[in-house]
Amino acid sequence: MIIPWQDIAPEMLDSLIEAFVLREGTDYGEQELTLEQKTADVKRQLQCGEALIVWSELHETVNIMPRTQFRG
């Protein structure tokens, strides 16, 4: 189930994004980004619809994923 990012309290959204960024392990290439830069990028992706916040009933977890990977 998709959870609209606008329905999440700002502090909770920031915490969710930060937890995602800290666990995701993405390689950013030669340029290393700060935590603030990474979280701002994820927030931008959510705001423009490139990424989604998804609740898994099966696993009872929340995740952030690219829209292209979501199979509802």
| pLDDT tens-place string over residues 35-51 | 899 999 999 999 999 99
Statement: the pTM of the whole predicted model exceeds 0.75: yes
In this predicted structure, what is the pLDDT of residue 3? Answer: 96
In this predicted structure, what is the pLDDT of residue 10? Answer: 96
Residues 35, 3: Cα–Cα separation, whole Å: 23
Task: Kindly state the percentage of the chain with pLDDT values over 90.
Answer: 76
In this predicted structure, what is the pLDDT of residue 6? Answer: 97
Nearest to 8 by CA among 64, 72, 67: 64
Q: Catalogue all structural domains in the chain, each as residue range(s) with its CATH number.
A: 2-23+34-69 (1.10.10.610)
- Check residues 41 and 23 and name the one with the higher pLDDT: 41
- Any residues with CB less than 8 A from the CB of 24 and at least 6 apart, and which? none
